[in-house]
Amino acid sequence: GAGVSQSPSNKVTEKGKDVELRCDPISGHTALYWYRQSLGQGLEFLIYFQGNSAPDKSGLPSDRFSAERTGGSVSTLTIQRTQQEDSAVYLCASSLDDPEGFSFGPGTRLTVL
Amino acid sequence: AQTVTQSQPEMSVQEAETVTLSCTYDTSESNYYLFWYKQPPSRQMILVIRQEAYKQQNATENRFSVNFQKAAKSFSLKISDSQLGDTAMYFCAFITNSGYALNFGKGTSLLVTP
């Protein structure tokens, strides 16, 4: 079946602009995660959605970052007033809330000029 | 705090040789799962191998095997008969039974040379 997809694959934006990154999880996966991968760093947890429960936003680095998940499926990560330090690869993952069943998307590389 | 430490930022190995990547982690919980992920230049995270903490037997997947030392909180990955396609970033990660997010190390960049 289809895996996790993300769009766009690459995004170049100017400092101060807003960007939206999209994630389409595997159909039926109830859990969805966003991670940020900065150069030379591991994966930094950003946010977690599980079904219809309130999301865990504890990893969002600032109030410029927000995310939503519509209908328990597609998720959008929005970064407002982008800064150069926001440049990174943003990875989305989904699972059946099974610790062994994470599936990752190919990521969106964000470059803020 | 739950942390993962990969002490080798970069490693190199010749084709057909064996290489071991190190990983240590810290958690106060006793039930958890450990993983090694591979990330080639395509950015796609690929699960290489996983280990349940309650299992004493080390996991093996073809050329990939782990040395899991629970008391030492160590989880190293051994790649045998290295191939050029093994060139990638390798991330060690774990998740506890009470948690829901994977905790990742900073990764080890592995280069396999002819």
pLDDT tens, B43-88? 999 999 999 999 989 999 999 999 999 999 999 999 999 999 999 9
The closest CB to that of B100, out of A48, A104, A106, belongs to A48
The residue among A104, A109, A110 with the most chain B CBs within 10 A of its CB, best to mutate, is: A104
User: Using one digit for the tens of pLDDT, what is the confidence trace for A81-95?
Assistant: 999 999 999 999 999
The residue among B100, B103, B108, B109 with the most chain A CBs within 10 A of its CB, best to mutate, is: B100
Q: Give the model's pLDDT for residue A1.
A: 59
What's the rounded mean pLDDT across residues A41-68?
A: 92
Cα dihedral across residues B2, B7, B10, B12: positive or negative: negative
Q: Give the model's pLDDT for residue A12.
A: 98
The closest CB to that of A45, out of B6, B50, B101, belongs to B101
Q: Give the model's pLDDT for residue A63.
A: 95
Question: How far is A20 from B67, CA to CA, in rounded Å?
Answer: 41
Give the CA distances from residue A3 to residues A27, A95, A103, B5, B19, in Å, rounded to whole numbers and listed in that order: 9, 11, 7, 29, 30
- 3.40.50.2000, 2.60.40.10, 2.40.40.20, 2.50.20.10: which CATH number matches A5-95? 2.60.40.10
pLDDT band at A40 (very low <50, low <70, confident <90, very high): confident
What's the rounded mean pLDDT across residues B7-21?
A: 97
Q: Give the model's pLDDT for residue A20.
A: 98
Note whether A86 and A20 are within 8 A (CB): no
Task: Indicate the domain borders of chain B.
Answer: 3-113
What percentage of chain B has pLDDT greater than the value 70? 100
The shortest C-alpha distance from B84 to chain A (Å) reads: 21
Give the CA distances from residue B103 to residues A81, B2, B6, B114, in Å, rounded to whole numbers and listed in that order: 28, 7, 12, 33
User: Of the candidates B47, B67, B49, B48, which has an alpha carbon nearest to the alpha carbon of residue B57?
Assistant: B67
The shortest C-alpha distance from A40 to chain B (Å) reads: 7
Token pair listed for A40: 């030379």
What's the rounded mean pLDDT across residues B6-29?
A: 96
pLDDT band at B99 (very low <50, low <70, confident <90, very high): confident
Q: Give the model's pLDDT for residue A89.
A: 97
Note whether B94 and B86 are within 8 A (CB): no
Q: Give the model's pLDDT for residue A88.
A: 97
Q: DSSP per residue over B22-90, as a string?
A: --EEE-S-S-EEEEEEEE-TT---EEEEEEETT--SPPEETTEEEEEETTTTEEEEEE-S--GGG-EEE
* Angle at the Cα of B55 from the Cα atoms of B52 and B59, rounded to 5 degrees: 70
Mean pLDDT over the full length of chain B: 94
CATH number for the domain whose boundaries are B3-113: 2.60.40.10
What percentage of chain B has pLDDT greater than the value 90? 86
